[in-house]
Chain A
Amino acid sequence: MEEKYLICEDSIEGVFTGIYDAYALREEHAHLHIQIGEEENYRLFAQYMNIIPDAVKIRKVVETICKRLGDETYLSICRALASADSGKGEAVYKTVVNGLTQGGGRRVMENLVNPYVGQVFRLARNTSNETNHFMEFLRFKESQDGILFAKIGAKCNVIPFLMPHFSDRLPLENFIIYDDKHNLYGVHPAGKAWYIVSDMEKQVEAMFEISEKEEQYQELFTMFCQTIAIKERANLKLQQQMLPLRFREYMVEFVEK
C-alpha cells in the first residue's frame, strides 16, 4: 500500500490537526505518517498532503486525549511537541494511536518498550529538564521603570512552561522573558494574566536601560557566588557538569564585565 505523509507546521496546533486528519482518512495507521515542515527528499511512491491547522479539529483532538489518555499523558505530549526533534510529530501520532486503539489507554506513557512512546517520553523529559534549568538559571534584570527582563536561549520551546511558574512566583511584578532562539516573548503585567508575543519587530532589549540598583545587586551576587565557594574543595569539572556552559552567557555571575 502507498505511504501517505501528512505535512504539518511545527506547533502543537499543526500536529493535532494532522492527527485528526490522519484518523479521518480511515486507513491503516502503519502507512500514515506525520511530518513536520517540508520534506527535503521526496519519495517516489508516496503521497504528500499539506495540513492546515483548524481550531475545531484541534479542540476535538485535545478533548479526546485528555478524556481517554488522561491529563498527565496530554502534558507529556505537549512537552514532547515543544522539543526540537524533527521526529516528534510522528512519535506523538503513533503514541496516540497506541493509547486509543492498541490498549495503552491512560497508562500509555508507561509502555516505554514501544519505540514511539519511548521517544515521546524522552522528548518530554528533554523539555521538562530544560524548563527546570531555566527556572533555576534564568536571570532577571531591572529596568529604570522597574520592569524585569530576562533573556534565554532555549533548545526547546520552554516559554509556555516557564510562564506559569514565574507568574505564581512574582505576581506583583511586570516581567518579560525573551527566548532569542525562538524569538518569543512571555509577558506578565503585574497582577494580570500572562501571554506570549511572537515575532516582535522592535528589539525590547535594545530599548532597555538598567536601573542604578541593578548594577549594585549584580555585583553583590557575583561576589556572593565567589565567596561561598570553599577553595580547598575546588572542583571546576563538577561545576561545569552541574551548570553547562551554554547557560552561562545569560547569567550575571558568569558574564565577564
Chain B
Amino acid sequence: MEFRISEKISIMDKLNILADAAKYDVSCSSSGSSRNGDGKGMGNTVAAGLCHSFAADGRCISLLKILFTNECIFDCKYCMNRRSNDVPRASFTPDEVCELTMEFYRRNYIEGLFLSSGILHSPDYTMELICQTLYKLRTVYNFQGYIHVKAIPGADPMLIQKAGFLADRMSVNLELPTAESLKQLAPNKNRKNILKPMRQIQNGINANREELVLYNHSPRFCEAGQSTQMIIGATPESDYQIMAVAESLYNKFSLKRVYYSAFVNVNEDKELPALPGGPPLLREHRLYQADWLLRFYDFTVDELLTSDRPNFNMMIDPKADWAVRHLDQFPIEINRADYKLLLRIPGIGVKSARRIVRARRFANLTFDDLKKIGVVLKRALYFITCSGKMMYPTKIEENYIVRHLTYQKERLPFAADGMWYEQMSLFS
C-alpha cells in the first residue's frame, strides 16, 4: 500500500497542520469520567473536566485536539480538508501522537487527547490506525488520562467497539440537522451511516453498564458517554428543527452532549451561504442556552419553540423569553415553590436553586439572602416574591419586563461586527 506520509515534515509543522485542521471540531470537554490513577502509569480524570488554557477565540483548550491525518477521500463542501482543496497534507505516526500526548500531559498543558481524522484510503483503514494509536497510548505508554475519539462512519463495528474500550468518550458528528442538507453538502456521507455507529455506541454503553453490575472490574466502555455536533447556519433549518433533532438525540440515543458549531465559511463554495456578518455566533449562543434548558432545567423543545415561532428571540435568552410568555405562572414565592419551579425563574440557576431549597429549611429567605446565595436579582426580581412581597413594585406585563430586561445596556456578547443588539424603541 502506498503511503503519502512524508518523513520530511518536522513535528512542529505536522502539529501545526493537523491542529489547524481539527480546530472546527467544537467538542473539547474532558468531563464525565472520574478515575484515579493506579500508581503505575500517568494520568487520572476529573468528573467536571479541566480547561487548561483558553485560545484567542475564548474557547477552552482542554485536550490535545488533532487529526491523525488530514488526507481525505471525502469531498464535503463545508470542510477545509475536503479532497478537492489544495492544502498541505500531513499524517502522524502512532508514536508521534503518543509522545506528544504524554509530554504535554506531564507538563499539565492538557487533560488528554482528542483524536479525529480525515478518511485515509477507507473508513476501516483509518479507524484501524486510530485504534492502534489508542492501544499503544493506553498499554505501552500507560496513559490513564482522558481520551476522546471520533468513530469514523462506515468503519467496521468491531473497530468501533475496540476504540470504545480504549476511550472515555466517543463521538460521531451528525454534521447537519437534516438528511437532505447532509446529502446536499456532504455527498459522501449519509444519515444512516452516521446513526449506525451512534446506536452501536449507545448499546455498548448500556451493555457495559450491566456488565459492571456483575463484574466490578470489567473494562469500561466510553465511561464519559458520547457526543455529536451540528453545523449551524450553513443550511436553512430553523432553530425549532435543530432543537427537535437535539432533543431526540438526547432522548433516543442517550447522548451526553450535542454541540452546535456556527458555520465558518472556509471554502467559499457556491452551495454555501455567504455570511457577511461573520459566523452566526449569537444564534449558536441561543442554541446552547436552550440546550442547557433541555438538559438541566427540565424544559422540552415544544415549550420553547413552536412551528409558528420557529426561531429564538435574539433579544432575550430562551428562559427569559419563556417566562415573559407565561406570566400567568408568576410571581413565584421563593420560600414555598418546589425545586423544579424555582428552576424556571430567570436569574436562578441549578446551583442557586439547590442552595435555596436547603437554606430555607433554617429560615425564611429575604431578597438580601438571595443575593448572597447567588441569585441574579436584576433578572429575577420581576418573577419572584419573598414572603409574599415583591422586591420593588413592578408591573407584571410582557412589554414592561422585556424592556427592563434588555434596558440595562446589556451588550449581547457575540455580535461579530462590534455592534450590540438593543431593544428598538420609538425614539431610536
Contacts and interface: CB of A to CB of B under 8 A. Distances in A.
Q: Which of B56, B103, B414 has the most CB of A within 10 A?
A: B56
B15 A223 contact: yes
Interface in B341-370: 355, 358-359, 361-363, 365, 369
A169 B359 contact: no
Contacts of A253: 53
Interface in B49-99: 50-61, 64-65
A217 interface: yes
Contacts of B355: 110, 112
Q: Which of A111, A142, A230 has the most CB of B within 10 A?
A: A230
A136 B362 contact: no
B128 to A, nearest CB: 26
B98 to A, nearest CB: 14
Q: Does more than half of chain A's interface fall in helix, strand or loop, or is it mixed?
A: helix
A114 B262 contact: no
Contacts of A118: 372
Interface stretch (B38-46, B168-176, B197-205, B286-294): B38-46
B372 A148 contact: no
Contacts of A227: 15-16, 19-20, 23
Please tell me the size bucket of the interface on B. Answer: 35 or more
B64 A224 contact: yes
Interface in A226-257: 226-239, 241-243, 251-253
Given A229-B59, A235-B58, A238-B413, A170 B16 contact: no
Contact of B53 (A148, A166, A223, A225): A225
B314 to A, nearest CB: 18
Contacts of B15: 220, 223-224, 227
Interface string A101-145: 000000100111110001000000000000010011111111000
B368 to A, nearest CB: 9
Contacts of B361: 107, 110
Please tell me the size bucket of the interface on A. Answer: 35 or more
A111 B270 CA distance: 61
Q: Does more than half of chain B's interface fall in helix, strand or loop, or is it mixed?
A: loop
B359 A112 contact: yes
29 contacts: A110-B358, A110-B361, A110-B362, A112-B359, A113-B365, A113-B369, A135-B46, A135-B50, A136-B51, A150-B108, A170-B42, A172-B40, A219-B12, A220-B11, A220-B12, A221-B107, A225-B55, A228-B22, A228-B23, A228-B61, A230-B57, A230-B59, A232-B264, A233-B264, A233-B279, A234-B57, A235-B57, A239-B57, A239-B58
Interface string B92-116: 0000000010011011110000000
B393 to A, nearest CB: 25
A53 interface: no
Interface in A12-41: none
Q: Which of A107, A138, A173, A234 has the most CB of B within 10 A?
A: A234
A60 interface: no
A110 B52 contact: no
A213 interface: yes
Given A110-B362, A118-B372, A169-B43, A236 B56 contact: yes
Contact of B60 (A114, A234, A242): A242
A244 B416 CA distance: 22
